[in-house]
Structure 1
Amino acid sequence: MNHHIHIGVAVGVEDGLVVPVIKFADSESLHSINTMVRDFAVRAKSKKLRPDEIEGSTFTISNLGMFGINEFTSIINQPNSAILSVGSIRKKPVVIDDKITIGNTMKLTLACDHRTIDGVTGSLFLQTLKGYLENPVTILV
């Protein structure tokens, strides 16, 4: 069992896809993770990642939303326990306080390897993530 979180971030490159890994992401700040992701993306596109920077992930995030894809299901890359698929943000009618208004919506899909994560744990993760996305200030608390 792995006691740390090493997040793979799928990056589209000219030849396909590469997944650089943020090691020990559970001990990094959001600012630090943001900086690392940007650096990895630039270096991935220029083929400057080292082999040790693309191995050891335990969880991967794939964002096809940036290409306008609304929803998709990713395939888990072993030995990862799960992969989160992030769709595009779309404006849709939503109900807030019994009133219809225009709101931003986004579809997330979580694929879990049930040998390491059961469906309830995956559901609780998505529920927590939904709360953070709807109320970002709670991430800082």
Structure 2
Amino acid sequence: MAATVKYDEVETGQQIPPADYPVRRVNLVMYAGASGDFNPIHWNERFAKTVGLPDVIAHGMFTMAQGGRFVTDWAGDPGAIVDYGVRFSSMVVVPDDDQGAVITVSGVIEEKLEDNRVVVALTARSGDSRVLSRARAVVQLA
């Protein structure tokens, strides 16, 4: 875990360096077991293609979770997120090969609030697609 980020150490407009989160089919199967979402579009290539998808796709909430992971890793506190919301703008396609997919998340301090809180605007991409839009987290800093 990163060192705890302090409110006095951040400024509006400050960039948070990107992080890559690899996604393989096994991650989706594990997520399905944890979440109870066993929709076959998330693990069965044949089924995904029969319903018009290009391949197996990651769960939307799995993708959203990578944004939350990015923020808590940056803040150095797994309980730092006070509020978090996104819109899903594209799918994370996960091919069945050694490479899988990668979700790249970056952020910027959009606003400093009272009580040591900041608003972090996130960008999440997979390949050439932005997979989350309007992604914002309110984060409690030390």
Relative to the length of structure 2, the TM-score reads 0.28
| Higher RCO (CA-CA < 8 Å; seq separation 6+) | 2
Structure with greater strand percent: 2
Relative to the length of structure 1, the TM-score reads 0.28
Structure with greater helix percent: 1
